[in-house]
Amino acid sequence: MNSPNSPAPSGRLSSIMQEDRLFPPSAEFSKRARIQSMEDYRRIYADAMEHPEKFWDNLAKLLPWTTPYTRVLDWQPPCASWFVGGRTNASAACLDQHVAAGRGDKRAMVWVGEPIGERRELTYRELLAEVCMCAGGLVKLGIKAGDVVSIYMPMTPELVIAMLACARIGAVHSVIFGGFSSEAIADRNEDAQAVAVITADGGWRRGSQLPLKKNVDDALVRSPSVKHVIVLKRTGQPVSMTPGRDIWWHDLVADMPDSMAPVAMDSEAPLFILYTSGSTGKPKGIEHTTAGYLLWAKTTAEWVFDLRDDDLFWCTADCGWITGHSYVTYGPLAAGTSILIYEGAPNAPNEGRFWDIVEQEKPTIFYTAPTAIRSFMKWGMSHIENRDLSSLRLLGTVGEGINPEAWIWYHEVIGGKRCPIVDTWWQTETGGIMMSPLPGATPTKPGSCTMPLPGVVPEIVDSEGNPVDTGEGGWLVMKQPWPGMLRGIWGDQERYRETYWSKVPGKYLAGDNARQDADGYYWIMGRIDDVLNVAGHRLSTIEIESALVSHPCVAEAAAVGRPHDVKGEAVAVFVTLRSGEAGEVLKETLRKHVRHQIGALAVPDDIHFASVLPKTRSGKIMRRLLRDIAAGRETVGDTTTLEDYTVLAKLRDDE
């Protein structure tokens, strides 16, 4: 570990962490991989760089086109149109083309419910029939292409079916995570002007029944555009049904034909809106369109997860997040892969539930978040020892940077030292994975998302837009358009331009800090607003957190800044423990550990012990809220994605 020697210029970050361990793919894995070597990767990357339109034209021809496109790309920064003039359908790409090719009897989906013993399987032919019946029911209600349909459901097969049914008729779906409150539902309905909501009576979460229908009813007081509510009977709990507005799912699909032609949609027709939280104000609706997004989700799934015909792919994300859109639904199904989905929490009914499912269903690919991995570590080995995890051949991480300590644990304990790990960097806005190891080609470094995928051209710049030196941190930007890129913020194109394109003209601003090491590997250093300015040095929070988590007593850590009269900012950290006794002795031990790991500059001024940290429902730590607590301020801004509001009260009480 090394520490910086001099203050960093504006917009540049000092890197205080060095990770040199290298894990090459095994010869056995590489031999069967789609991309088998770094030479293969460099050749494909160069092809995409030098001839981008030809490159994407060749891949796009594999989609089922009703009308061929006349032009690959029309790029008028910051507005892109991909596959201009073409018409296709995302539902047809995920279902019809596989059935037509004779793969209708292949398993498409395995579903496991949270209550023990609940399980369903659907073949591609059966999934297509279910989608057609749902689509027919939506049309019967008068829902048409261009209408927005909100989906607020538990992780059941019907959630995926509802998404694909909307796509089939050209309706724009807006999936709202099933843990959100009625206020969050109302905000999204109102912004999107949704005409219908698809929901369930309830869902299961850690043994409790979520009141989904009641939340929708409360939201509809502020959702005048909604004319129809479709309700899946999931838990059987009593709900109120409003005549003329509410209809049960089973009544909607009754007597509907199990075949229905998909609507041919323009390449740039909106496919879905997905709302993300801004730092302040209302959530913003990220808009993705049909053909470019679909091609990106499919192609990146094939590359990064090295998809094979016999794979069972378990992405643990909920479809309320972009990961569930791209790597539960559209990417794997467009690629013809079998998917595994699970309704509940990883600790229901106990902390071994995920490993029960691995033993029973035998997935080959496991894709989850670093937050989940750190939870597994905290829960201890008793839930994992003597488990048969031998079906797994590939592991992945998503959602935030993974600290090296968790990476190594994941590699050794879950992967048995035999499974490559694909540490993926991407965003709701990018539509799919942008940087990741290719498991048959890329030697991995714990904590690094390694290198950009073909078609991705990143750069690291300072706040003036100038490229930084190798090893220096700065703003991560993209220099060229890619098919899966967002097309705007729903109803607010000026906000789109201002948020993503104004600060570094002509380049997409990702909002993350990053650095590139001497080997060309990229390291994500946290959000731009998650930077500490200590005595003239700009430090990345993620590196301080990684140092803390490398201590055996620490399960999770979050570093933030608070105002300091002398240094500008002081380092404040919030720590949850795996073991040990919270107190002054442990605080001093942790300070010495950080000093040893990365130097005196990063030693925390304040250490706060907490039983839990405030997180979004997708598992990301909400550092903005911790900054408020560390500075003694009242919490401001959007908190609709906060998983447990009582966490803030507990943290303030600790103060």
Lowest mean pLDDT among 315-329, 334-348, 641-655: 641-655
Contact partners, residue 86, CB within 8 Å, separation at least 6: 65, 67, 68, 69, 70, 266, 267, 291
pLDDT in tens, 253-276: 999 999 999 999 999 999 999 998
**How many Cβ atoms are within 10 Å of 104's Cβ, its own excluded?**
18
Whether the pLDDT of residue 646 is over 70: the answer is no
Count of Cβ atoms closer than 10 Å to residue 47 Cβ: 15
The mean predicted confidence, pLDDT, of the chain is 90
CB-based contact 225:138 (threshold 8 Å)? no
**Residues constituting the chain:** 655
Separation CA 524–CA 573 (nearest Å): 19
pLDDT band at 59 (very low <50, low <70, confident <90, very high): very high
**157-169 and 124-140 helices cross at what angle (nearest 10)?**
60
Strands (E), 71-178: 71-76, 79-84, 87-88, 107-112, 119-123, 148-152, 172-175
SS3 category, 527 = strand
Residue 230: which H helix or E strand, with range?
Answer: strand 228-232
Q: What is the bridge-based pairing of β-strands 228-232 and 203-205?
A: unpaired
Sign of torsion over alpha carbons 524, 528, 534, 535: positive
Which residue carries 């990146």 as its tokens? 300
- Using the 8-state DSSP alphabet, how is residue 143 labeled? -
Q: Which two tokens stand for residue 9?
A: 């210029």
- 236 token code pair: 């059987």
Average the pLDDT over each of 28-32, 62-66, 80-84, 203-207 and give the range with the smallest value: 203-207
Do the strands 203-205 and 246-248 form a parallel or antiparallel pair, or are they unpaired? unpaired
C-alpha 25/C-alpha 40 separation (Å) is 14
Q: What is the Cα–Cα distance from 501 to 460, expressed in whole angstroms?
A: 15
Interacting residues of 128 by C-beta distance below 8 A, sequence separation 6+ = 95, 96, 99, 104, 258
Q: How confident is the model at residue 5 (pLDDT cuts 50, 70, 90)?
A: very low
Report the amino acid identity of residue 240. Answer: S
DSSP type of residue 222 = G
pLDDT at 502: 94
Report the 10 Å Cβ neighbour count for 557.
28
Q: Are 287 and 273 in contact (CB under 8 A)?
A: yes
- Give the CA radius of gyration of the chain: 24
Domains of the chain: 530-654 (3.30.300.30)
Sign of the Cα pseudo-torsion (392, 396, 398, 401, in order): positive
Q: What angle do CA 572, 576, 580 make, to 5 degrees?
A: 110
Q: Read off the tokens for 424.
A: 């993926």
Q: Is the pLDDT of residue 403 over 80?
A: yes
Measured over the CA atoms of residue 500, residue 503, residue 509 and residue 512, the dihedral's sign is negative
* 280: CB partners within 8 A, 6+ apart: 636, 637, 638
Stated as kind and residue range, the H or E segment containing 534 is strand 531-534
Q: Which residue has the tokens 């991407």?
A: 426
The per-residue pLDDT for range 108-166, each reduced to its tens digit, is 999 999 999 999 999 999 999 999 999 999 999 999 999 999 999 999 999 999 999 99
Query: Would you state the pLDDT for residue 130?
Result: 98
pLDDT tens digits, one per residue of 461-494? 998 999 999 999 999 999 999 999 999 999 999 9
Tell me the C-alpha distance between 68 and 87, whole Å. Answer: 7
Helix (H) or strand (E) holding 558: strand 554-564
- Angstrom distances, CA of residue 443 to CA of 20, 67, 563: 11, 42, 41
246 sits in which H/E element: strand 246-248
Confidence at residue 550, expressed as pLDDT on a 0 to 100 scale: 87
What's residue 544's pLDDT?
84
How would residue 575 be classed by pLDDT, with cut points 50, 70 and 90? Answer: very high
* 3-state DSSP assignment of residue 103: coil
Work out the pLDDT band at 532, boundaries 50, 70, 90: confident
Tell me the per-residue pLDDT of 490-527, one tens digit each, with 9 for 90 and over. 999 999 999 999 999 999 999 999 999 999 999 998 77
Which phi and psi (to 5°) does residue 186 adopt? Answer: -60, -45
Nearest to 515 by CA among 547, 475, 484: 475
Burial zone of 40 (CB within 10 Å; 0-12 exposed, 13-18 middle, 19+ buried): middle
3-state secondary structure 594-609: HHHHHCHHHCCCEEEE
DSSP annotation string for 449-514: -BSBPTT--EEEE-TTSPBPPTT-EEEEEESS--TT---EETT-HHHHHHHHTTTTTTSEEEEEEE
- Dihedral angle computed from the Cα positions of residues 256, 261, 265 and 271, in that order, rounded to the nearest 10 degrees: 40
What is this structure's pTM? 0.85
Cβ atoms of residues 545 and 370 within 8 Å: no
Handedness of CA 603, 606, 609, 613 (dihedral sign): negative
Of 184, 166, 356, the closest CA to residue 263 belongs to 166
